[in-house]
Structure 1
Amino acid sequence: MAPNVVATQFDASSKSDHELVALAAAGHAVAFEAIMRKNNRLLFRTARAIVKNDSEAEDVVQEAYLQAWRALAKFRVESKISTWLVRITVNEALGRLRRKHLNVIPLAIAMKDPSVSHSDSLSERTELEPENNAIQDQMRALIEKHIDALPDAFRVVFILRAIEELSVEEVAQSLDIPEATVRTRYFRARSLLRESIARHTDTALANAFGFDGLRCDRLVEGVLTRAADEGLIAPARE
């Protein structure tokens, strides 16, 4: 039976994670709210790395929190609450993909087997003027697109290590994989991401400051007209 919700107010910021868990298990909703606010970004990014959809990721996180809340009594005090929540989130996200009959075998296997290989191919907002904000948004969207293109197992490890800045040990515990696998996946993810973004950048650079079409015609016509005016060439015949 779920514990009765206690409405007592207290300063959650002064409590440790284990104290918050104990209070939440005793029915203090404020304590669990504090737990959620401390872990929302981590869990959303974890879910988003697997389901690759913002709305679906939010649903995953919500369900993961509810599962955690129901199982607070089973939480082991020697564990980190964030690690426990990440594991619940990963399982919920994978379960949703399975229910949709999508192929999640590569990710599921990679979480356990460091020998699994994947294809190596990859096909703080600043408070400045609106133009720079737009550029920041475009850059973020570009980076997110390339991260989404990473192989599943690499993508999850990369987000937890590079974006959430979890340690190798924390990622290994969260995903239940060896630390060596975390290092390998993270190194390969960074390499693939660099290669993918470099290809995109090279293409963009090749097309930068384009000068063809009407602009080219206009300049050529202007030079020819001035050359004719100065007698450098014969005037064009009407």
Structure 2
Amino acid sequence: MPASPALSRLQPQPEADLVRRAARRDADAIRQIIKRHNQRLYRLARAVVGSNADAEDVLQEAYLRAFTSLDSFRGDSSLATWLSRITLNEAFARLRSQKRLKRAAPADVATGQSQIIPFPTAISGDDPERTMAQRQLLHLVEQATDDLPHAFRIVFVARVIEGLSVEETATLLGLRPATVRTRLHRARKLVKDRLEAQVGPILVDAFPFAGTRCERLTEAVLARLDLLK
């Protein structure tokens, strides 16, 4: 007996089916793909460019590039890997552009001290004191991650926060597995030392990208693809 339409909508759609529908500019399929991959792609982008606003800009451009060239996706890798590579390419391109602008800027422009941009969290507000403590701990984790050297930060985000394997991280970043292991070891020690000096070991659950922000970016991508009715 075939599944009812309502039940079918509740079941996760197979990746190949979503890709085919998205290639036909099906807005619902595009929404599902974005929601499935937003968290990872946002975290990877932010690990490269270092700010919320730049990461969202990178993500928009990456999605536009992906959804206007889905015909080039052959399934040789997973959709997640393909989207991650596009996102990282966009992020590194933006980083190079920012560096060129800094070099071209007048020498007397005061740069000031780098500022950590607060990240939205998904912490419940039922217990105000607990919520405040959790936010403070989460901020320390995010700040320690932001302060990592760039080469270490992207590996740390991919391996520790996103849970990619050594091999997946090496493939994604074009590194040797041994290099990934070395950078991860050094990154973990830097973060551990930073946190232990302040509050001791903490569990990392940082850089969320969901809810309203996810919805806003999804609608922005669809609008730029001229798919909003």
TM-score, length of structure 1 as denominator length: 0.67
Quote the Cα distance in structure 2 between the aligned partners of 1:151 and 1:91.
19
Larger radius of gyration: 1
1:11 pairs with 3, 9, 12, which one? Answer: 9
2:183 pairs with 151, 162, 185, which one? Answer: 185
Q: How does 1:83-232 map to 2 (within 5 A)?
A: 83-101=81-99, 125=123, 128-201=126-199
Gaps of 5+ in 2: 1-5, 102-121, 201-229
Counterparts in 2 of 1:27 and 1:137: CA distance versus 1, 3 Å: same
Counterparts in 2 of 1:12 and 1:79: CA distance versus 1, 3 Å: farther
What is aligned with 1:82?
Answer: 80
Counterparts in 2 of 1:191 and 1:99: CA distance versus 1, 3 Å: same
Q: CA deviation at 1:201?
A: 4.3
Give yes or no for the alignment of 1:45 onto 2:55: no
Are the equivalent residues in 2 in contact too, given 1:12–1:20 (CA < 8 A)? no
Quote the Cα distance in structure 2 between the aligned partners of 1:12 and 1:84.
26
Are the equivalent residues in 2 in contact too, given 1:47–1:93 (CA < 8 A)? yes
Q: Deviations over 1:136-157 (max 9, x none)?
A: 1111111101101111111111
1:56 pairs with 47, 54, 57, which one? Answer: 54
Are the equivalent residues in 2 in contact too, given 1:125–1:133 (CA < 8 A)? yes
Give yes or no for the alignment of 1:30 onto 2:28: yes
Measured on the aligned residues, the alpha-carbon RMSD in Å equals 2.4
Q: Deviations over 1:113-168 (max 9, x none)?
A: xxxxxxxxxxx635651111011111111110110111111111111111111222
Quote the Cα distance in structure 2 between the aligned partners of 1:149 and 1:18.
39
User: Residue 165 of structure 1: SS of its match in structure 2?
Assistant: coil
Q: Deviations over 1:12-59 (max 9, x none)?
A: 843222221122112222111111000101011111111111111111
Quote the Cα distance in structure 1 between the aligned partners of 2:127 and 2:100.
43
Specify the code of the residue in structure 2 equivalent to 1:23: R
Counterparts in 2 of 1:179 and 1:94: CA distance versus 1, 3 Å: same
Comparing both chains, which one has the higher relative contact order based on Cα–Cα distances under 8 Å and sequence gaps of 6 or more? Answer: 2
Give yes or no for the alignment of 1:20 onto 2:28: no
Quote the Cα distance in structure 2 between the aligned partners of 1:128 and 1:162.
29
What is aligned with 2:119?
Answer: none
User: Residue 150 of structure 1: SS of its match in structure 2?
Assistant: coil
Quote the Cα distance in structure 2 between the aligned partners of 1:201 and 1:190.
16
Q: CA deviation at 1:185?
A: 1.6
Quote the Cα distance in structure 2 between the aligned partners of 1:12 and 1:58.
28
Aligned residues: 175
Counterparts in 2 of 1:13 and 1:172: CA distance versus 1, 3 Å: farther
TM-score, length of structure 2 as denominator length: 0.70
Specify the code of the residue in structure 2 equivalent to 1:69: F
Gaps of 5+ in 1: 1-8, 104-123, 203-238
Quote the Cα distance in structure 1 between the aligned partners of 2:69 and 2:40.
20
Q: CA deviation at 1:184?
A: 1.8
User: Residue 79 of structure 1: SS of its match in structure 2?
Assistant: coil
Q: Percent identity?
A: 43
Counterparts in 2 of 1:45 and 1:194: CA distance versus 1, 3 Å: same
Quote the Cα distance in structure 2 between the aligned partners of 1:82 and 1:65.
12
